Structure 1
Amino acid sequence: MRRASLLASGPVRLALCLSPLLLVAGWAVTNRSMAYEGAARLAASNPWWLLAAAGFTCLTWVSAAFTRQGAVPDRLSPGLLLASQVAAGAANHALPGGLGAHAVTLRFLRTQGVAPARATASIGLYSVAKSVSKTLVLLAFLAASPAWRRLGELVPDGRPLLTALVVAAVAVAVAGVLMITVRPLRRPLADLVRTALADVRIVHSRPCRVLALWGGAAAMPLVQGGALVCVGSALGLGLPWEHVVLAYLAAGTAVGAVPSPGGLAVDAALVWTLIAFGAAPAVATATVIGYRVMSDWLPLLPGALVLSALFRAKAL
């Protein structure tokens, strides 16, 4: 029975490791002209700026590892935690909305001996800290740069915001009704809420956890924006670095909630935001494609290899 289970799990693990690469290959085939143009511009760009962009991409794994550690009271193995975030970055392309990364991290936390309720609560705290920190960083850039006025034509009217608020309110109401009326869900959800509140108090009573959680969450959008700045510099985008980071933060905040594998829904908004800041359309498009190549597609192979190695080592 055990041998059959292991054999059955082999194809599943192989499919999980290869699915990000297959998704990117499918996109490249269906968008051949765009992929070719981006690849051609990257091939003729400044390699040192691209190397710097690769360095910023590696820092995103470090930032994610710090944030994950800060979200859980238990001490985790630093090396395995960093490796899990490299693997999570690859798995994130297989499922939308960050579910792939959360699934890998949740499995890693369980192998590290973290209780199921605490591991699940840490995912929620990580997501909240990441969203709040990104919003605060965006507000800081908006307050420091007058370039935000150019975003006026990209800001939607009040109807989409009202719709989003209504949907969020309905979701909260439905969750509350289910928690009250469905008895099998009542106890697990109540235990999860109690665990989450208790862990928030524990984490914020330890300065090292607070620094890791909020410092890592605040650093993540900055290093991602830094990678975009480096790619833009390599391709001759011609925009100040603060405008490029502001464009990244604004586009990601505006449509980042749209569930799409690999964050592809952000790309169109990012291109239009760069154009609104004064970039040439062709260069802006190539910059976004180059950024996606450097930050998402190139790390897929090492991420898939690390994911497979963690499975073999039973760390996931």
Structure 2
Amino acid sequence: MRTIKIRRMMILSAALLLGPILSAGCTRIHDKPAAEVLHLVLAGMAGSDGVSFEGASSLLLDGNPAPEASLFYGGTVSDHNKVSLHTFLPDGGTPQTAAGAGENKLKSSSAAAAAYYTRLEKKNGQWTLLQEDSTASPDNPLPALNPLRQLEELENLEIEVSEEAGAARGTRVLRIELSEPEAGRQLAAELEGQMKAIRPDTSGSEQKETGKEEEALQLLWEKKNNELQQKLKEVSVRTVYYLQVDTKRNLPKRLTCTRRVNDPANQGTTGGGAEEIYLTEVNFYGYR
């Protein structure tokens, strides 16, 4: 009997000693620094089999919405590296959970009627457009809105990560700001990619008139590209992401991005174009 009592006391003592240690370990998981939480979330997203998402994007020019640039979209991720995206109307009968604070402004847009569909697959570290199953038009905005690519980018950009106070229970909200040079490089890469997509193909011209037309288009493209490069040197760019994290599963719930582009040369001019604000938001649900 005495032996049993001694064993019980030893077990109880061990429990009393281990209890605070285990509790402290759980607390540390929730109290990890914001940058480490971001790394864990990105790793968790990469390991997820699939997820559905809905999003919205809009553009403000000097504080005024540009309806032609407003877009609602949705899609799915499957097999870790395949993404399907499609546009839809904000009032077409599908519940809209991704419009966020800009929902009322975006609903006034008639441009959302433009229909696009895109399928992407990651091959050799690059996201590849599957042309046979996609809207292959150069003005298709969906490839740039691939939420997996947006999250992956954060791993390699120059960023400062902090945490926002007042997050809902069971979540943390990370504030991720790009350095100003990095924000400029990111914008330049995106715009240069768009310019490359619409560059005229001047190879294989057989008819003289057709050749002249293509040459004129090439000259026009070069002019616009030079203007773009000059403008990129003049503007200042500030880009901030907010990532809402499900702390139970260490997976994203919502990702928003605000990019402010200011052109000091046009500051104060009539009709100005002094500031452009590009807003995107995507909500994730139905993890598999």
TM-score, with structure 1 as normaliser: 0.25
Structure label with greater radius of gyration: 2
Structure of higher RCO (CA pairs closer than 8 Å, 6+ residues apart): 1
TM-score, with structure 2 as normaliser: 0.26
Q: Indicate the structure with greater strand content.
A: 2
